Structure 1
């Protein structure tokens, strides 16, 4: 029997189901993402695309960093507030996948050492932020910073797409899943926590994810130009 949270998500996502199932994913994957809230693999298509292309062309590291700031703020705020894991668990998985993408961007730019340093510094900061050493006021400020971080991060990526005239190695599947997932989370967060700060963050996140999704569609048939090797 479906939980009330699943019923809310199922009802809200029903208009999008045909499009997602017919064009982007099997129905089993749809059920995992939007009924069971298994977000573990949301960004895996992006990671696999980078690994297959051995390139991170078109992806902005600055955008990834700002997105990581927003995800980390949500995660640490939820832990500090003792919200149920179901209300923020996907933030943990998104964080791990976003960190991986950040490392791959540096790695494929030829800066593997910088990528490793990025991993060490980031996980060190997370350990401090989730410890009793960090005051609640700092965690709250981080959560409040989600909104500008999300907006600026998406605008940087949108600007990169516009300048390049294509979306490079951005994964359409990951972009559309993030957009649909953030829409669903507006309503599930309202049901589970009623926290206005988190709800507003998901609303803004949905709007920004829509911008990138729209660019994916606009540049659908445009591919990065192949660079000629110097003779």
Structure 2
């Protein structure tokens, strides 16, 4: 790639011109510039996770017409985890653009929960669940006490971790990963890794950081399960042929 093209691509998007000069002209591993670029990349990872992580999973369920292997408990925990920052932001009257991506991801996950129940033949139950969930969200955002909102916000990471742990156990018990999306897991792994890096920078070696570091580890386990079970299924199919 031409150096001018590379410069146009990087400067202003990932780094200031000063850092470009340090890293790509002088080939100097300038620590502040490296940290700046890392933070930019981490931010992109987190945004991709927020906007896109559940879309491949949603599309895969719709394409296959099945939610086999997906743990309802896992996705309900995931739904709760995504709800907490939305309720927190609404209760504190944050500008909508500051938490709109969370609402977008929340809608995706709520749709997945509905589809899990729908493909189990429990469409009415799924509809009532989403209506009830929407009502509770509205009430919490409007009337919940500050103490309750704080507890919900604090429990977000624990809910994410529990969600992944439940799905891991479900995969192990089933002996397959069903309709879990590999791409969704990759995006989730990248996003949770980004959040862990931010937590390390902001909180150091705190208990919160430990939780944030556990999340990408569990995402990686899920990814390994998908790859291993897919390979095993492929080997069995070849033997049968």
TM range, normalised to the smaller chain? 0.7 to 0.9
CA distance in 1 between partners of 2:95 and 2:192 (Å): 18
State whether residues 46 and 191 of structure 2, in contact with CA within 8 Å, keep that contact through their aligned partners in structure 1: no
The within-5 A match list for 1:51-200 is 51-80=62-91, 88-131=99-142, 133-188=143-198
Q: Which has a greater percent of helix?
A: 2
Q: Do the aligned residues in 2 keep the contact of 1:168 with 1:223 (CA within 8 Å)?
A: no
Q: Distance in 2 between matches of 1:51 and 1:120?
A: 21
Shift of 1:155: 1.8
**1:121 Cα deviation (Å)?**
0.7
| Aligned-partner SS, 1:75 | helix
Query: What is the CA-CA distance between 1:104 and the residue it aligns to?
Result: 0.3
Structure with the greater alpha carbon radius of gyration:
2
1:206 aligns with 2:216: yes
Answering whether residue 53 of structure 2 is matched by residue 42 of structure 1, we say yes
Q: Which runs of 5+ in 1 are unaligned?
A: 14-32, 227-231
Measure, in 2, the Cα distance between the counterparts of 1:202 and 1:90: 20
Does the 8 Å contact 1:166/1:222 carry over to 2?
no
TM-score by length of 1: 0.73
CA distance in 2, matches of 1:95, 1:145: 16
What is the Cα deviation at residue 36 of structure 1? Answer: 6.2
Once the two structures are superposed, residues 33-77 of structure 1 have per-residue CA deviations (whole angstroms, 9 ceiling, x without a partner) of 538658323211111110111111000001101111111113323
Q: Secondary structure at the match of 1:52?
A: helix
**Cα RMSD after superposing both structures:** 3.5
Rounded Cα–Cα distance in structure 1 between residues aligned with 2:112 and 2:128: 14
User: Distance in 2 between the 1:74 and 1:201 partners?
Assistant: 17
Q: Which runs of 5+ in 2 are unaligned?
A: 1-11, 16-34
TM-score, normalisation: structure 2:
0.71
Q: How many residues align?
A: 205
Looking at structure 1, the residues matched to 159 and 47 of structure 2 have their Cα atoms a distance apart, in angstroms, of 28
Change (3 A) 1:105 1:84: same
How far apart in 2 are the matches of 1:223 and 1:183?
29
